[in-house]
Amino acid sequence: MRLPVPLVRLALRLGPLLLAVPTFAAPAADVAHCPTTGAPIHEARFVPINGIEQWVTIDGDDCRNPVVQMVHGGPGNPLTPFAERIYGPWRGKFTLVQWDQRGAGKTFGRNPLSDDTPLTLQQLADDGVALSAWLQTHLQQKKVILFGSSWGSAVAVQMAQTRPELYSAYVGSAQLVSGTADMAAGYQKLLNIADDADSRARLKQIGAPPWTDPHSFGIFRRVTRIYENKVTAAAPLDWWKRAAEYDSKQARADEATGEDYSYLQFVGRHGDGMQAGLDLRQSAHTFAMPVFLIQGEDDLVTPPEVSKAWFDSITAPQKLWVLLVRTGHDPNRTMVDAQYKVLTDNVLPLTR
């Protein structure tokens, strides 16, 4: 979901929600790393999660502040290289946890996977749940705030359905609902507004979804960005300057290879990847925690019409829908500011 990365790797990716009871194992408990109120925390290390070491960063001005577990999109697009520039101001009120998912970033570099190794949404959700359980002990927190965007919203919803007692709230942004409904609605909206010959030719070339060619979604995503950028405010350019730790030749290579792997897992070789089975309308009806959704009015990848219909159908102790003008699928200042406002105004009181 980052402007400088090749668009085929920025493609939104979905995933099947599996209803079987998952098996997961939290990392072994270690000494709590929050000695007293007011102590800052900064950790960046591999944590053993479900049989492999996965990259986790923890940042906050006070380690007793509420924990926000951030579930990145893609799949395969971790935000760890850019987290300080985008979310750094949030550290005053929250402890922020970034996590390179299985098949992504530094986690992929430590645990490379071949294209023939399957990746599932339930597997990623199980990893996320195990990390949440570890964070409870490690940071001495009763519950964690669950935050997911784009692909991460699918993973986060599955986490919330799997172990609801771990979470005080779910905050979603650019919410994925259905692998078929989101793509069909986005394609039709894009076809209606595309007014240049090249874009229309590309859309006609791939045809309406579902797609069986693994390149089709990348083409669709490229055209969505052209038209979203015409009407939405751009993100600050300095957001996308990598932190030094993630700017080495090896770090970039690991991230790029992980993105390629994850993209193929998403689309599948014949349209049979993770996205084929995703449908929250069938699998996620009830939430045990409050739900807050933040959606861009001009999002062509997860159109607000689809997200709002699902949001209206779910039951939760508390719900809030926020629609942002001049905002598309990719993060910009308007979106990030709205996310922070929801966290501080609506979620923070729930943690006291």
pLDDT of the residue at 37: 75
Does the pLDDT value for residue 26 go beyond 90? no
Has residue 1 been placed in a domain? no
Q: What is the pTM of this model?
A: 0.91
The CA distances from residue 173 to 14, 73, 151, 205, in Å, are 14, 10, 10, 30
Please state, in angstroms and rounded to a whole number, the distance separating the CA atoms of residues 68 and 267. Answer: 29
Does the pLDDT value for residue 21 go beyond 50? no
pLDDT band at residue 242 under the 50/70/90 scheme: very high
CATH number of 184's domain? 3.40.50.1820
Long-range contacts of 44-48 (CB under 8 A, 24+ apart): 44/245, 46/106, 46/107, 46/110, 47/131, 47/134
Please state, in angstroms and rounded to a whole number, the distance separating the CA atoms of residues 71 and 147. Answer: 6
**Mean pLDDT, the chain, as a whole number?**
91
Q: pLDDT, tens digit, for every residue of 79-114?
A: 999 999 999 999 999 999 999 999 999 999 999 999
pLDDT of the residue at 36: 74
pLDDT band at residue 221 under the 50/70/90 scheme: very high
Does the pLDDT value for residue 280 go beyond 60? yes
Which residues constitute the domain of residue 65? 7-351
Has residue 59 been placed in a domain? yes
Has residue 219 been placed in a domain? yes
pLDDT band at residue 126 under the 50/70/90 scheme: very high
Q: pLDDT, tens digit, for every residue of 255-265?
A: 999 999 999 99
Does the pLDDT value for residue 276 go beyond 60? yes
Has residue 164 been placed in a domain? yes
Has residue 2 been placed in a domain? no
pLDDT band at residue 20 under the 50/70/90 scheme: very low
* Number of domains the chain is built from: 1
What is the SS3 assignment for 98? strand
Name the token pair of 37. Answer: 């109120």
Average pLDDT, integer, range 221-240: 95
Average pLDDT, integer, range 113-127: 96
